[in-house]
Amino acid sequence: MLQEKWGPGLCSLTWQDTPLINLWPDECPTCAGMVSAGFGADRKGAAQFLSAMAEWNQPFHDLPTSLSHLEPLLMLLPSGYYLLEDRELYPTDGNGHFFWDVSQQKSLNPATVSVMDREMQYSTPGPLYLLPTQSPAHYNAERAAYYRDKPDTRAIAWYFNDAYLCALLDGHHKASAAALEKRPLKSLVIAPVSRSTKESLTFYNGESLSATAFIKGIPKAIHYSRLNSEQYQACTSSVHNDTFSWPEEFAHCAAVFPDVATASTILEAGDISEKRIQRIIEGQTLLQDEDVPLILEALYYTHSTQFMPFARFVYQHDCGRTYCHLAFTLLAQQPCQQVDDFFVEFLIDDDAYRPDLTKIVDDYFRQR
């Protein structure tokens, strides 16, 4: 069975009672906890249960089709309700490292936290970063290279509530390819229920089921088992040589993805849908001045097609003049013809009125 098990100060995702990956949450929900690798003691090749899913690596069509392909895996979960989402995850551990470069020694990881909003309410960040469930000894450079030109393939991940972190169940080489290509990893994420009452079940993203939708015989809450003393000892002591020299090309790949602070900004930005951004640009939705940098960074780091139009809006309207430097800085990190054209327009129209912005543009073209 694939399930979370708990011990003192520990949440461990286990396969057949053997730890795959361990989270050590802090008692304070907004303070960083720790992470350590388990790798299933590597006795079963960690996550080898996926070998029976012959249909899984077919091209992705839609969630219903994927759900049928995932049935062998879902049958291994404790009976209960789960949310299945198609999401993009970053191939980093949320701690500035390539996702697979996680030690069996405990290390502090800021992606274990919850977030406090402006109303001083805690919120669940949602799936964003990845942790491995396989030993680095399974890394195959040829397999990673195979997926570099296949951005639409899907991985499978398990989400840990009240964190940014997911355990990668299948797709370690897909994630490696995504890191090398500096792109997010498309993943199907399985999330357990976050809160349950007699009247409803709620998942991390606020989606819920009312009592009228409950299915008889399926427990509303999953009662996770506790780690026995032997399992807990396996999580707290490293018995393997976990040193692995990753190729140099992986060393700095995490730097291109948003860190936890930026991810919090994306969450705080709220709705950044095309509809809302267009309404802001067209003057149909009022925008608070303090929301401008949040939206800029959220659109940039989510690779939204609305980033360029919103950056233009910030530059062209007085309400955003304070944040022009941020807009230009982000634009300069996204070289393309659209940015070229915009910066040329700026140089023609500005006449060196904004030397701080002119410097960003000059540096941009110098490096093109």
pLDDT, tens only, 330-346 = 999 989 999 999 999 99
**Placement of tokens 């919090």 in the chain:** 264
Banded pLDDT at 296 (limits 50, 70, 90):
very high
The residue among 72 and 106 whose pLDDT is bigger is: 106
Angle made by CA atoms 355, 332, 181, in degrees to the nearest 5? 165
Residues 6+ apart with CB under 8 A from 364: 331, 332, 335, 339, 343
Angle made by CA atoms 297, 301, 306, in degrees to the nearest 5? 75
Banded pLDDT at 318 (limits 50, 70, 90):
low
Could you give the C-alpha distances from 128 to 22, 85, 201, in angstroms and in order? 17, 12, 22
Q: What pLDDT does 48 receive?
A: 56
**Placement of tokens 């996926």 in the chain:** 50
| Averaged pLDDT, 171-193 | 94
- Is residue 118 scored above 90 in pLDDT? no
Q: Which long-range contacts (CB under 8 A, 24 or more apart) does 60-63 make?
A: 60/152, 60/153, 60/154, 60/186, 63/188
Task: Work out the percent of the chain whose per-residue pLDDT is above 70.
Answer: 90
Across-strand partners of 206?
none
Banded pLDDT at 258 (limits 50, 70, 90):
confident
| Averaged pLDDT, 224-241 | 73
Greatest Cα pair distance in the chain: 72
Task: Give the CA radius of gyration of the chain.
Answer: 22
Instruction: Please give the backbone phi and psi of residue 90, each rounded to the nearest 5 degrees, phi first.
Output: -90, 135
Q: Average the pLDDT over each of 41-55, 116-130, 153-167, 334-348 and give the range with the smallest value.
A: 41-55
**Placement of tokens 């948003």 in the chain:** 258
> What 3-state class would DSSP assign to 88?
strand
Torsion of CA 47, 179, 63, 302, to 10 degrees: 140
The residue among 235 and 226 whose pLDDT is bigger is: 226
| Averaged pLDDT, 66-83 | 86
Banded pLDDT at 87 (limits 50, 70, 90):
very high
Angle made by CA atoms 8, 9, 10, in degrees to the nearest 5? 90
Banded pLDDT at 45 (limits 50, 70, 90):
very low
Beta strands in 16-173 (DSSP E): 18-24, 33-37, 82-89, 107-109, 115-116, 122-123, 129-131, 155-159, 165-170
- Is residue 3 scored above 70 in pLDDT? yes
C-alpha–C-alpha distance, residues 187 and 168, integer Å: 9
Q: What pLDDT does 56 receive?
A: 66
Q: What pLDDT does 229 receive?
A: 82
Specify the pairing of strand 2-7 against strand 115-116.
Answer: unpaired
Tokens representing residue 269 in the block:
């930005």
Q: What pLDDT does 13 receive?
A: 92
Q: What pLDDT does 50 receive?
A: 56
Q: What pLDDT does 320 receive?
A: 52
- Is residue 362 scored above 70 in pLDDT? yes
| Residue of 28, 27, 98, 36 whose CA lies nearest to 235 | 36
- Is residue 65 scored above 80 in pLDDT? yes
Average confidence score pLDDT of the chain? 86
Q: What pTM, to 2 d.p., does this model score? A: 0.79
